[in-house]
Structure 1
Amino acid sequence: MYPLRSLADAEGRVIGRQQVRLLRIYLSATTFLFLWGVTFTTVIPIRRGPGSPTGGIIAIVLGVAALAYLARRPRSLTPAVAAAVAATPAVMAYHVSMTAEYVCLIATMFLAMYIRAFYPPRQALAVNGILTAVTMAAVAVAPAPKVGVLTFLIIGIAIMGAAESFGLVMRALLEAACTDPMTGLLNRAGWEIATADLVARLRASAGTVTVVALDIDNLKTLNDTYGHDAGDRRITEYARAWRRAAPRGAVLARLGGDEFAACIAGRDSAAVNRFLDEIRSRTPQVSVGTATAALPGAVVAQLLSRADAALYRGRGRPLRQDVPPPPLDT
């Protein structure tokens, strides 16, 4: 089944909005602090500052540029994250005090936690490795006195330790918010994120995207006759069977109640037929509807709507398209 490689939503919904918001908060806070440091050590010299203001000026330019970029392109975070990775080490490269270095280290630790929480594990490890290396290099060239290898050991442990502890906990909580607790499949939020990621990754290919809508029949009758435990067992057993039958890389989710959906993308059109054959042979009393579109123009939300309509047509109860549903009483 398709894993949640990234918690960034390509369509800017759900968790994706929070990812952008947190990055803006981080950039705003650090840029303000760098501006404060440059202002009160050069323009209004209350006291002698911790080294040259050059690094602070570079960091301010990077922060402002990253914030401006996010204002124009909030769905493309890589340049802004790259600016954040470079900004704090730029300041640290000019410090003359290790106290100032350790204060700035807090910012890199927060950035490492953010990266670990929102990016795929391997990518997060690589980016945090770069962040750690750049920070160590900045401290190495800084005029601040160092305590040999111990200084760099502290920096490495602080950054990677923060990422793997607090960042991992944050990612686990976010993943739990995208997972259906009964079946272990993705829920509606997870479906939105995973399908957007899947289509984005394959958009340049010449394959197709197929959405399969699944609905367990007579589940209410089963609950009313044998109790909700029996209905829950039916749901979990069918979900387990569909997980085993789903092609590699497919997105499988429980959208609510007895409603499930699968998204299969790629060039292997036979994979969809094999999946449907497994559904019919291993999980009886299931209504199925499918919809397919070619990449790169496929829109998963539209395919799901078409697949759902096909499911109801297969039941002999087509959805009405002419009259909208009545408004709710207020």
Structure 2
Amino acid sequence: MEGPGAMTDLLYFEAEGDLRAAVRSLLAGRADPADLTGRVEDTGSRDPALWKALAADMGTAGLLVPEKLGGQGASHREAAVVLEELGRAVTPVPYLTSCVVATETLLAVQAGDLLGELAAGRKVAVLAVPLSAGPGHEPAATGTVTGVADADRADVLLVVRPDGLYAVDAADATITPQTPLDLTRPLATVTADDGGTRLADSGAAREAVRRGLLAGAGLLASEQLGLAEWCLEETVRHTRERHQFNRPVGSFQALKHRMAQLWLEVVNARAAARNAADALATGSTEAPLAVAVAQVYCSRVAVHAAEECVQLHGGIGMTWEHPAHLYLKRAKSSQIALGSVAHHKRTVADLADLPAPA
């Protein structure tokens, strides 16, 4: 376990670069942002073939699972790289919910058999808590939970009841789809009052959920980073090609300043996201603080980048056909996912001993 004085490595390792190249190549052929609006309309954001290629064939589903349990034995740093690329394409797959949040929850209770199924990409598991639930969330003592992300894609639901954590087959639960802001991350109301396999008692369940949500919030920052990077790059490309008064609109000083400011924010977001991923990977005692800082900063940068992308594309940025609106919707929904900004600011204040003004 990393001590408080240990050095954090924010750079990408060679293996992480290779993983990025492989995931980006896969998504370029199967999840091009230019085709995203059509795919969302036609399939409701489901793409089983893409999920199989990413999770099972490429093995990314098992990055956080030890080799002895059938996983890759990697770390949060590698999972963060995958999420950066998924964020760049706003890819409609349940990677964050299943391969991070649910997997971390199951690791905490040592559910080996189910972890092996998840690591192999044969099953998708979802923790039945609201998407807005952040680290420290206390599940309600009721069998019905609203706003559960990716529940309609799950094979197994991890349900918290007063006496512990249960694994419930999705077929044995009632899953009612809701209308989400972000069409690429569906929400549902889940009712699972009874049945299932008990995985842990109430005390262990509480700690497992905390661990799952902490990892989810930390790596969500990497997804937000990838989204912001794409928005910046796409905006720069568009303003180079779009001409007014016989010159590229990107050459106008006012737009240059806006994109330069956004570039600085993205660079800082990368540092915050990498710090959170590294802290989780090394088991640092500073991980809760690193995660909270990353969420406070990266969620704001992702929204700002998506807003600038829409605005600086002009009229086309306001159309359904251009994917900019899907990036903005993902950024806005992610801003309240796994803990609101206010929640994470309170965490930073508590952990850094910064009392709020009277």
- Which TM-score band applies after superposition, normalised by the shorter structure? under 0.3
Q: With structure 1 as the length reference, what TM-score do the two structures score?
A: 0.26
Bigger-Rg structure (1/2): 1
- Which protein, 1 or 2, shows the higher relative CO under an 8 Å CA cutoff with sep ≥ 6? 2
Q: With structure 2 as the length reference, what TM-score do the two structures score?
A: 0.25
